[in-house]
Structure 1
Amino acid sequence: MSPAQERISDAVAARRAGHSLDGPFYTDRDFFDFDIEAVFARQWIFVAVEADLPEPGDRTTVEFGPYSVIVLRDDDEGLRAFHNVCRHRGARLLDPGQASGGNLVCGYHKWTYATDGSLLHAPSQAADFDRSCFVLKPVHVRGVGGLVFICLAERPPADFDEVASRIEPYLLPHDLRRTRVAARTELVEDGNWKLVMENNRECYHCDGHPELLRTFFPTYGYTEADVPARLRPAHERYLRADAEMRATYTGLGLPYGLIEELAERPTGFRIQRDALDLAGESFTPDGTAACRRRLGDLPTPRLGHLSLHMQPNAWFHVVGDHAITFSVLPLTPDKTLLRTTWLVHPEAEEGVDYDRDTLLKVWTATNEQDARLVARAQQGVGGPAYEPGPYAPGEYQVEAFCAWYLARLSEELQR
């Protein structure tokens, strides 16, 4: 074990359950590099939606830590993923972002690859050059209900198939495979990736989200016994809305029950269909739908929201008229990319079926507010006065995330 790994091992062993992590977990370069290898290079990572890749040849790239990966739709309309490294002299094969087209052409020496990764053309090689020895290095890729995940490990976590089989019944009625990307934002937050994830896993701070709290109940994460007096009126509204939504879900045959396995397994996840406040249709100031065309063929817009959280880097909200996906990608110890994508019905037209500003308003504001909170947290955990503090009962999902994360570090330390 290297000196850096010994430091990390000691920190893992010393961590006090129910308390935030020690400062180096959020600030130290060695810890960050180990996060990439123990978590992002081992686990299934959410990176795209199938709507990013509607046609053969469509591709997108994703980057985290030192890795860059191409995800594409091949000529047979299947999903493929490859390391974004030319097999000639290692140049980045494609620039960041999305593109359409057929073959993959390196911008350095024009080595050309098919969408299945095979090398088609390498100019001016020797007569005995064997192109079959220089295929692109593949990466595991899976589509789950219209969401795209990759795994860099040679042997991905074996439980992913089971998790996919449990969450797909919740996703499929919304037909996310047949959607269109209405908008995407990329926000670089001034904080460690774990602070971004932890912030999303609790509503203890939700009074800082006035736009979101028009429809999102502020009692998220609280048990009946823990709801404070100031939130009791909202809780009573929630109970009434929840009873109505359960009747709707049952009548439509939609799965809605909570499945929460955040810390117990390699592919930690949480999924639930739940009520929204006011009109109960969407994330808008009055809770009414932001888009006139609904996802799938569901007969009513009043469906509350389907919430999915997946370790280590993603959460999702699906409402009757659109879906929002969030992907967290670590850049440096104190910089994290939050990529947010809004999906609408494939035939929905901007300016006709929806107003773009209305569609984006709530979560754009919420993301920006969260980014400021994450930056404040990063400043604090990097200071000499910081010491881990206790989680409140409503922050139990933050504790679950930390427990899951530390288990992944322990597994890597034992390899």
Structure 2
Amino acid sequence: MTAPLTDLSHVRRPVSEAQGLPNPHYIDSQVYNEEKHAVLFSSWSGLAVAADVPEIGDAVPLTFVGMPLLVIRDKSNTVRVFQNTCRHRGMILVEEPRKIEGAIRCPYHSWCYSTEGRLVSTPHVGGPGQNTHESIDRDLLGLIEVPSHIWRDVIWINIDGTALPFEDANADLIARWAEFDKPLYHGGADSAFQLEVECNWKLAVENYCESYHLPWVHPGLNSYSRLEDHYHIEKQDSYSGQGTLVYRQLKAADGQVFADFEDVGEKWNEAAEYITVYPNVLLGVHRDHAFAIVLVPKSTERTVENIHLYYATPKTNDAMRAANTEQWKLVFEEDIFVVEGMQKGRHSPNFDGGRFSAVMDSPTHCFHAWIAGKIENYRATAQAAE
């Protein structure tokens, strides 16, 4: 029997007794690889947003935890995710974002695939001038498609195909935000930005889940949406985060505001919610705009945050939209020194995962307990197979 890489027995205890995930879960390459399979590949993980491929034929190559993927909007206007690998000799198909006008052509031997993933052309495969061969069944050699789903414009993927259907896995949150089940309009180029942070991806989640740090890290935000105005949001094994009862709309000098999402209830006049959908997507909803942050793990100690802002109407005031982006960018940048500081702290060999405030840290503990449960299930399955 192979010994487990880490002891997680203390993580799933009640929050008042629990310790956090041990150091190796932030700095060790073996544990990072284990989490890749146990957590990121087995769940509905965020990859990108549909706004990244706005038009038919748009194709964007991405790498998710080492796996080369291709996001494409096919000729029927469906967003698909494929492994970005030719079925012939494993060549990468698309190296840079581009428009696919006809077929996806492998640059090595010119095998071609439709935007729906079918293998449609195999030139000279049977010899010069012979484009077919009995040993090559095109119907069996299409691109390998990764199960995907779009919700709130996020492209969610389940790489190993074992997760429940997305609507079942996230039914509780979908119902919670049913009032926001309206069209989302991406704000465009000035409503998307990227932050690179020197930390493990989980620390970005942990920081987003809680409001405890507001008075010290976000003094501007805390000046009107105070710590005491916030509440916890927790759904075991699914999501956690925070909400505020005091949301202040952005106003232009002439009093103009963004249009509200149609028919949102009175609760949202001044409320807003910020939730992490496990494992790696941070979502925010307000009466007049929303955002999605897709965390892309790059290594044990490096994460890219892709941030996108959305509105209730396709046209918004340019200056207001830019100001809103800058406002949120400032808030998210204020968190960088915290998550990077915690990452440095995980190199202290005697740090034991830390303790939680039973009152203030329960959304973070909820996330840790979910991670630990996913890993323990993965280990049990691996052990049974030995």
Q: Which residue of 2 aligns with 1:209?
A: 218
Contact kept? 2:290, 2:309, Cα under 8 Å: yes
Contact kept? 1:53, 1:73, Cα under 8 Å: yes
Question: Which one-letter code corresponds to 1:11 in the other structure?
Answer: D
Find out whether 1:139 has 2:146 as its counterpart.
Answer: yes
After superposition, the Cα gap between the structure-2 partners of 1:172 and 1:118, relative to the gap in structure 1 and judged at 3 Å, is farther
After superposition, the Cα gap between the structure-2 partners of 1:355 and 1:142, relative to the gap in structure 1 and judged at 3 Å, is same
Question: Which one-letter code corresponds to 2:325 in the other structure?
Answer: L
Q: Report matched runs for 1:174-185 at 5 Å.
A: 175-182=182-189, 183-185=191-193
Whole-angstrom distance in 2 between the partners of 1:396 and 1:140: 32
How far the C-alpha of 1:29 sits from its partner, in A, is 0.5
Find out whether 1:400 has 2:374 as its counterpart.
Answer: no
How far the C-alpha of 1:64 sits from its partner, in A, is 2.4
Contact kept? 2:60, 2:72, Cα under 8 Å: yes
Whole-angstrom distance in 2 between the partners of 1:11 and 1:71: 37
How far the C-alpha of 1:200 sits from its partner, in A, is 1.2
1:314 to 281, 284, 300: 281
**Deviating 4+ runs (over 6 angstroms):** none
Question: Which one-letter code corresponds to 2:208 in the other structure?
Answer: N
Contact kept? 1:322, 1:342, Cα under 8 Å: yes
Q: Which residue of 2 aligns with 1:261?
A: 235
Q: Which residue of 1 aligns with 2:228?
A: 219
How far the C-alpha of 1:102 sits from its partner, in A, is 5.2
1:13 to 9, 20, 28: 9
Q: TM-score w.r.t. structure 1 length?
A: 0.77
How far the C-alpha of 1:178 sits from its partner, in A, is 4.6
Whole-angstrom distance in 1 between the partners of 2:182 and 2:207: 29
Whole-angstrom distance in 2 between the partners of 1:370 and 1:98: 34
Superimposed CA distance per residue, residues 45-101 of structure 1 (whole angstroms, 9 cap, x where no aligned partner): 122333334333233344222213223332222332211222122122223657565
1:389 to 354, 357, 369: 354
After superposition, the Cα gap between the structure-2 partners of 1:161 and 1:14, relative to the gap in structure 1 and judged at 3 Å, is closer
Q: TM-score w.r.t. structure 2 length?
A: 0.82
Contact kept? 2:11, 2:372, Cα under 8 Å: no
Find out whether 1:25 has 2:21 as its counterpart.
Answer: no
How far the C-alpha of 1:117 sits from its partner, in A, is 0.6
Contact kept? 1:262, 1:311, Cα under 8 Å: no
1:281 to 249, 261, 269: 249
- Judging by fraction of residues, say which structure has more helix: 1
Q: Which residue of 2 aligns with 1:243?
A: none
Whole-angstrom distance in 1 between the partners of 2:123 and 2:175: 45
**Greater mean alpha carbon deviation, residues 187-196 or residues 306-315:** 306-315
How far the C-alpha of 1:303 sits from its partner, in A, is 5.0
How far the C-alpha of 1:123 sits from its partner, in A, is 2.9
After superposition, the Cα gap between the structure-2 partners of 1:96 and 1:294, relative to the gap in structure 1 and judged at 3 Å, is farther
Unaligned runs of 5+ in 1: 224-257
Question: Which one-letter code corresponds to 2:174 in the other structure?
Answer: I
Q: Report matched runs for 1:62-73 at 5 Å.
A: 62-73=62-73
Whole-angstrom distance in 2 between the partners of 1:145 and 1:40: 19
How far the C-alpha of 1:161 sits from its partner, in A, is 2.1
How far the C-alpha of 1:115 sits from its partner, in A, is 1.6
Contact kept? 1:111, 1:122, Cα under 8 Å: yes
Q: Which residue of 1 aligns with 2:384?
A: none
Whole-angstrom distance in 1 between the partners of 2:98 and 2:8: 38
Contact kept? 1:192, 1:330, Cα under 8 Å: yes
Contact kept? 1:38, 1:412, Cα under 8 Å: yes
After superposition, the Cα gap between the structure-2 partners of 1:203 and 1:298, relative to the gap in structure 1 and judged at 3 Å, is closer
Question: Which one-letter code corresponds to 2:37 in the other structure?
Answer: E
Q: Report matched runs for 1:257-406 at 5 Å.
A: 260-263=234-237, 268-270=238-240, 274-277=244-247, 280-282=248-250, 292-296=258-262, 302-345=269-312, 347-349=314-316, 352-392=317-357, 393-406=359-372
Question: Which one-letter code corresponds to 1:136 in the other structure?
Answer: L
After superposition, the Cα gap between the structure-2 partners of 1:185 and 1:166, relative to the gap in structure 1 and judged at 3 Å, is closer
Whole-angstrom distance in 2 between the partners of 1:341 and 1:98: 21
Counterpart secondary structure, 1:56: coil
Counterpart secondary structure, 1:31: helix
1:199 to 183, 207, 221: 207
Q: Which residue of 1 aligns with 2:129?
A: none
Question: Which one-letter code corresponds to 1:86 in the other structure?
Answer: C
Whole-angstrom distance in 2 between the partners of 1:361 and 1:299: 28
Unaligned runs of 5+ in 2: 127-131, 382-386
Contact kept? 1:203, 1:221, Cα under 8 Å: yes
Question: Which one-letter code corresponds to 1:261 in the other structure?
Answer: K
How far the C-alpha of 1:339 sits from its partner, in A, is 1.0
After superposition, the Cα gap between the structure-2 partners of 1:96 and 1:413, relative to the gap in structure 1 and judged at 3 Å, is farther
Contact kept? 2:19, 2:353, Cα under 8 Å: yes
After superposition, the Cα gap between the structure-2 partners of 1:217 and 1:28, relative to the gap in structure 1 and judged at 3 Å, is same
